[in-house]
Amino acid sequence: MKLLLLLGLVALAQCHVSRVPLKRMKSLRQTLREHGLLERYLREHPYNPAAKYLGTGGSAEPLQNYLDNEYFGTITIGTPGQQFTVLFDTGSSNLWVPSVYCSSPACGNHDRFNPSESSTFVATQQSVSIAYGTGSMTGFLGYDTVTVADLQVTNQIFGLSQTEPGDFFYYSPFDGILGLAFPSISSSGATPVFDNMMSEGLVEQDLFSVYLSGNGQSGSFVLFGGIDSSYTTNGITWIPLSAETYWQITMDSVNLGNQPVACTSGCQAIVDTGTSLLAVPTSAYNNILAALGATTNGMISCQSVSSLPDFVFYLNGNAFPIPPSAYVTENDGYCTVGFEGLNMPTESGELWILGDVFIREYYVIFDRANNMVGLSQLS
């Protein structure tokens, strides 16, 4: 599947909507912790995904690795909970799922939220429209209880799609998207899920961390509120954010081995779990293909892969290498580079997108308390 790239967010707010207070219920995790029973409960329930993360202070959401292209997990919305698979996307900020009011073909073959079957749903008259690089949705906003991992987020605003044009979402293995970027880029001003986790005191630390497996293997996760030290044995390098929109950082330069190949005067990059490849400005993309000896459509001789050097991304004065085994993909005897040309202009210039090709090489910590990204190279 083509990568999911956020090109823009368009809000169509028809009227101001006040937050409607709902009675907040304590989660099972909170209740057990207050009575000193949490660790015992997790040990006695080995199939609880959070059991693996005892001592991390976090709540884990396991992610399914779909062909190394997309990573999605399961959430519930409403009372009783209606189940959905969603892409956990650090390159956007809205939560939305298909609704029973959607007649697009993309909704017909996915799970759809039915507000009439939730006793805690609160409707609004506010519309929402979100455009991604490979799909879009329009619909309206509502409030309900959303459960992610073992965290119950009350009064969470989310989008209910009424249209999903085109065929991208029709063929997507997930139902909707859960954005993990900043409120400043949220369509219609909807509060992101992680912001509500923080404000409702559901996480012990105002951060989340991500591990993405490779080669179709299992084990991927988002850990809300904690850092799993078993993934940081090589230490953590912290990089300050350059903007609180996407998870945006300043990149010093990009080398192919020891030779500068792009971003020679510095550039801006975002760390985006919702993008499959390394998306770079078109001019840089052409330079990279030429330096690799690849064709204009990214094809490269499989025999040459073993002799290719690392790509090295310099961030905050530190080198972050990506080996050819990570940036070249072989399929049926054909090899392609894991780069895509994309012009994504912002006030600070064209953005580079460090997608899953990059993230699979590092355990990534997204720190909202200090507005930093932490990277730890995986062994």
The active-site residue out of 68, 89, 144, 228 is: 89
Phi-psi group of 34: left, alpha or beta (phi > 0 → left; psi -120 to 50 → alpha; rest → beta):
alpha
Measured distance between the N- and C-terminal CA atoms of the chain, rounded to whole angstroms: 28
State the pairing for strand pair 334-337/299-300: antiparallel
User: H helices then E strands: how many in the chain?
Assistant: 8, 26
Q: How far apart are CA 326 and CA 362, in angstroms?
A: 11
The DSSP element (H or E) to which 197 belongs, if any, is helix 193-199
The active-site residue out of 144, 175, 195, 272 is: 272
Mark whether 272 is an active-site residue.
yes
Cα atoms in the Cβ-side hemisphere of radius 13 Å centred on 157: 24
Mark whether 111 is an active-site residue.
no
Backbone angles phi, psi at 361, to 5 degrees: -85, -10
Phi-psi group of 263: left, alpha or beta (phi > 0 → left; psi -120 to 50 → alpha; rest → beta):
left
Catalytic residues: 89, 272
